[in-house]
Amino acid sequence: MADAKLQSSETVSIARTFRGRVTLQGLLVQLRAFIALILLLTFFTIVSEPFTKESNQIILAKQVAINAILGIGMTFVILTGGIDLSVGSIVGLTGMIAGGLINEGLVLEPLNKVVYFNVWMVGLISILVGMFVGLINGILITRFNVAPFIATLGTLYMARGFSLLRNNGATFPNLIGKPELHNTGFPKLGAGTFLGLPYSIWIMIGLGLLAIFITKKTPFGRQVYAIGGNRRAAELSGVRVKTITLLTYVISGFCAAVVGLIVTSQLVASHPSTGETWELNAIAAVVLGGTSLAGGRGTILGTIVGAFVIGVLRNGMILEGLSSFWQMVITGFVIILAVIIDQVQQQLQERKR
Amino acid sequence: MLHKKFSRLLVLVMALAMVAALVPTTTLALAQESKGLIVIITPAHDNPFFKAEADSAQAAAEALGYETLVLIHDDDPALQDQHFDLAIAQGAKAIIVDNAGADASIAAVQKAKDAGIPTFLIDREINATGIAAAQIISNNYQGAVLGAEEFVRLMGEEGKYVELTGKESDTNAHIRSQGYHDVLDQYPDLVMVAQQTANWSQTEAFEVMETIIQAHPDIKGVISGNDTMAMGAMAALQAAGMTDVIVVGFDGSQDVLDAIKEGKIHATVLQPVAQFGPLAVEMAHKYITTGELPAEEKISIDCILITPENVNDYFNFAPVK
């Protein structure tokens, strides 16, 4: 929510691009995720006393962080006009990899040796596994021309399968490590705080700022937008479309792996089915944040705000004791609403031209 | 012109959003003089077992003057962990939970304990002791033995049968299967031709059963780790015209009791789930008011065999009065 100032100044500049002047309607539409967030915050602050507690705000942000980090990676992919359905499975797989490395170590059968890594190495290896799945997605899509939806649907199943296979469907419990193996400290990632905020919130802020910088200030970022905007034109103007597209899936895999580590650490156990359907939450956050599924249009900040909209909505509804069935109905309604507004915005933009 | 039209649309849309958000909240009870909050967390209510469990706990807590928050974790430990955070942040007096995984729930229960909030586990255990205030579970082993003995009797001590087992990660799946086999394996003429997990799920059980029927059209009985899977298996058997196959379930859910009345399912083992919640609430209340915890952490409640003879004595997991 500290992003408020950033958001408004940024969106004003976007709204100006409507023929160089700020129109109220343009601003309202551009800011829709943000306005929805303000409305929801105001609403729940009025109706729900427990919602306003500081402790609740912190856990709210902590829960949003999971979806927001997935959403950040997903935004890169969607900006190129792709989609990544495998992120939920990558969350589960990287969690199982980390859990296995801590509890069982790496078994080198021919040498009859078991290697235990310290938690930093465990984290690094898990992240590399996540990026590797992303790399496979990217290769399937760019080298074998498999449609992103199909390629990542395939890896969704495969990664989930491997995640279940890793320990035969069972959980790796009690991931506290052993002092004699020098691999203690893993739960800190999930339980630790800095300046009163859990690490996951800081990771969200850090990755968010980094991603905003990448999308706004680097050639890579501009090329991502260019590919989504007009793939052929981007190709003709010398953008290495395949490489850039491939990299976006690696980024998405990276973000999913980070989430896998955070969740595993929070539970102090890795559960093979963790992350099921989380890809859909991440896509919802991206879409709510104003990123077009057709690619080329959207912002990282929008995605984070979108994740907050979903998080606030859910937290508030839970606190108000709303049945989980109603929660699903309302969440779906809000997502559809966001897309309708998106369509209205595009029509508005087109008529102005 | 366009602007006007558009702003109207925008206002309409926003009004709709506000209404949508407002409507359901009117069902909320206004917070009156309350003794504090009890958070009740269970798996999804689409299984009537968990609905009955949550409802009975909620009713008992509200009768004692507590506020309640009923949450579901969809068997997802990460979601359950978020619910624990929420309970802690809201300063709950106690948490009553039917947990999402014997290993994956330990950290959450520990976290609540560290925050001074007692957790009362119902229905499912966790693989740790000394963390939860109490673990109230039905005697799954005793129930499984009851169910298996009835299954043996119905089968006439012989024939091919199929076992559907529950979720691998759930302790109860193993205990029940163990209980079944401790009885069934004593009869050499009872042959298990397939043993498959259907993850407690009705649709999965339907699919698994359909496939098994293809391979073994001559089966005589199905023994299932829970009632939802028994319902799924029954549907597949009915669809295949195999109406004389013996089906035995576990849980005692109302739809299976109804199926027993119709003769489609032959027996089930009723878990006294309607007792779990109230008992947990009673213990929580005692702890909140006197600081006393139950002497034993693990409390097991015996199950009851349901057959066509006594099926009318129970409704929604509770004895009919």
Domain of residue B253, CATH code: 3.40.50.2300
Q: What does DSSP assign to residue B147?
A: H
Mark out the alpha helices in B64-139 (DSSP H runs). Answer: 77-89, 106-114
Widest distance between CA atoms in chain B: 85
B126 and B149 share a domain? Answer: no
Are B69 and A318 an interchain contact pair (Cβ–Cβ within 8 Å)?
Answer: yes
Out of B78, B90, B127, name the one closest to residue A56 (CB).
B90
Confidence of residue B24 (pLDDT cuts 50, 70, 90): very low
b/e for A252-273, b at 16 or more Cβ within 10 A?
A: bbbbbbbbbbbbbbbbbbbbbb
How do residues B26-57 score in pLDDT, each as one tens digit? 334 444 467 899 999 999 887 788 888 999 99
* Domain range enclosing B65: 37-138+273-301
- Mean pLDDT over B226-233 rounds to 93
The packing angle between helices A54-79 and A278-288, to 10°, is 80
Domain ranges of chain A: 53-352
B131 and B278 share a domain? Answer: yes
Out of B25, B72, B103, name the one closest to residue A269 (CB).
B103
A116-120's contacts with Cβ under 8 Å and 24+ in sequence apart are A116/A181, A116/A182, A116/A183, A117/A183, A118/A182, A118/A183, A119/A177, A119/A183, A119/A184, A119/A185, A119/A186
| B72–A contact, CB cutoff 8 A | yes
B179 and B95 share a domain? Answer: no
B201 and B224 share a domain? Answer: yes
User: What is the structure's pLDDT at A17?
Assistant: 45
User: What is the structure's pLDDT at B18?
Assistant: 55
| B196–A contact, CB cutoff 8 A | no
| B191–A contact, CB cutoff 8 A | no
Q: Which residue of A has its CA nearest to B13?
A: A337
B108 and B221 share a domain? Answer: no
How do residues B152-189 score in pLDDT, each as one tens digit? 999 999 999 999 999 877 788 999 999 999 999 999 99
Asked if residue A339 has pLDDT above 90, the reply is no
Q: Which two tokens stand for residue B320?
A: 């009919």
B193 and B214 share a domain? Answer: yes
User: What is the structure's pLDDT at A4?
Assistant: 41
User: What is the structure's pLDDT at A9?
Assistant: 40
Please indicate, yes or no, if residue B74 is contained in any of the structural domains.
yes
Are B21 and A330 an interchain contact pair (Cβ–Cβ within 8 Å)?
Answer: yes
Residues 73-102 of B with CB under 8 A from A: 75-78, 81-83, 85-86, 88-91, 101-102
Out of B72, B76, B101, name the one closest to residue A171 (CB).
B101
- Best mutation site among A48, A102, A324, A351 for testing chain B: the one with the most B CBs within 10 Å? A324
Angstroms from A266 CA to nearest CA on chain B: 8
Please indicate, yes or no, if residue B288 is contained in any of the structural domains.
yes
Residue B305 forms beta bridges with which residues?
A: B269
Average pLDDT score over chain A: 87
Out of A36, A315, A320, name the one closest to residue B28 (CB).
A320
Out of A24, A271, A333, name the one closest to residue B20 (CB).
A333
Contact B256, B316 (CB under 8 A): no
Q: Which residue of A has its CA nearest to B80?
A: A267
Q: How far is it, in rounded angstroms, from Cα A338 to Cα A336?
A: 5
Q: Which residue of B has its CA nearest to A28?
A: B10
Q: Which fold has domain A53-352?
A: ABC transporter involved in vitamin B12 uptake, BtuC (1.10.3470)
Contacts of B91 in chain A (CB under 8 A): 55
Are A271 and B108 an interchain contact pair (Cβ–Cβ within 8 Å)?
Answer: no
| B106–A contact, CB cutoff 8 A | yes
Q: Which two tokens stand for residue B230?
A: 């028994």
Angstroms from A207 CA to nearest CA on chain B: 21
User: C-alpha angle B107/B111/B112, rounded to 5°?
Assistant: 120
User: What is the structure's pLDDT at A191?
Assistant: 84
Residue pairs between chains A and B whose CB atoms are closer than 8 Å: 131
How do residues A38-69 score in pLDDT, each as one tens digit? 988 999 988 888 888 888 888 889 989 999 99
Contacts of A267 in chain B (CB under 8 A): 77-78, 81, 104, 107-108
Closest Cα to residue B134, out of B294, B241, B282, B273? B294
B173 and B246 share a domain? Answer: yes
Confidence of residue A346 (pLDDT cuts 50, 70, 90): confident
Neighbours of A151 (CB within 10 A): 25
Please indicate, yes or no, if residue B126 is contained in any of the structural domains.
yes
B161 and B264 share a domain? Answer: yes
Out of A47, A171, A326, name the one closest to residue B169 (CB).
A171
B96 and B203 share a domain? Answer: no
Domain count, chain B: 2
B134 and B277 share a domain? Answer: yes
Please indicate, yes or no, if residue B11 is contained in any of the structural domains.
no
Are B88 and A55 an interchain contact pair (Cβ–Cβ within 8 Å)?
Answer: yes
How far lies A315's CA from each of A10, A41, A62, in Å? 28, 11, 11
Q: Which residue of B has its CA nearest to A26?
A: B3
ipTM beyond cut 0.85 = no
User: What is the structure's pLDDT at B202?
Assistant: 85
B233 and B146 share a domain? Answer: yes
How do residues A143-186 score in pLDDT, each as one tens digit? 999 999 999 999 999 999 999 999 887 788 888 888 888 888 88
Please indicate, yes or no, if residue B106 is contained in any of the structural domains.
yes
Asked if residue A81 has pLDDT above 80, the reply is yes
Q: What does DSSP assign to residue B44?
A: -
B168 and B102 share a domain? Answer: no
In sequence order, which residues have a C-beta less than 8 Å from that of residue A327 and are 6 or more positions away?
A314, A317, A318
How deeply is B208 buried, as exposed, middle or buried, from its count of CB atoms within 10 A (0-12, 13-18, 19+)? buried
Please indicate, yes or no, if residue B318 is contained in any of the structural domains.
no
In sequence order, which residues have a C-beta less than 8 Å from that of residue A304 and are 6 or more positions away?
A3, A68, A71, A72, A204, A208, A285, A289
Residue bearing the bigger pLDDT, B249 or A49:
B249
Asked if residue A2 has pLDDT above 80, the reply is no
Asked if residue B74 has pLDDT above 80, the reply is yes
Out of B9, B13, B168, name the one closest to residue A169 (CB).
B168
Please indicate, yes or no, if residue B3 is contained in any of the structural domains.
no
Average pLDDT score over chain B: 88
Neighbours of A138 (CB within 10 A): 28
Q: Of A96-100, A215-219, A325-329, which range is least confident?
A: A325-329
Confidence of residue B131 (pLDDT cuts 50, 70, 90): very high
User: What is the structure's pLDDT at A12?
Assistant: 40
How do residues A264-280 score in pLDDT, each as one tens digit? 998 888 888 889 889 99
Are B89 and A276 an interchain contact pair (Cβ–Cβ within 8 Å)?
Answer: no
